Amino acid sequence: MDSTEKETKNKKKGADKSGKGGSGSGGSPIYGIGVFGAWLYFFQQANEPEEYALAVLKGLFWPAFMVYEGFSALARWKGQD
């Protein structure tokens, strides 16, 4: 085994140990804090058991709601020109 093969093998071992492989992670503590904040907000708005169940789902998928509302607002704003 020459030195190039050893370096390649060592680089592969290093990537396996970290578990990330050099790419960004999908989740973060900030997202988790956002989920808890969304649950708190949606639970405060709920009055009935069905609304509490819906609050759990909304808390998990709040980024999708935020993006949808953002694009809707952008479309309304662009339509005013």
Per-residue pLDDT reduced to its tens digit, 25-70: 566 888 888 889 999 999 999 999 999 999 999 998 888 888 999 9
Is residue 75 a part of any domain in this protein? yes
Is residue 74 a part of any domain in this protein? yes
- Looking at per-residue pLDDT, the higher value among 39 and 10 belongs to 39
Number of domains composing the chain: 1
| Burial class of residue 30 in the structure, from the number of CB atoms within 10 Å of its CB (0-12 exposed, 13-18 middle, 19+ buried) | exposed
Closest CA to 35 of 4, 3, 5, 64: 64
Residues spanned by the domain of 76: 49-81
Q: Please give the DSSP secondary-structure letter assigned to residue 46.
A: -
- Token pair of 74, please? 């952008």
Q: What is the pTM of this model?
A: 0.51
Is residue 36 a part of any domain in this protein? no
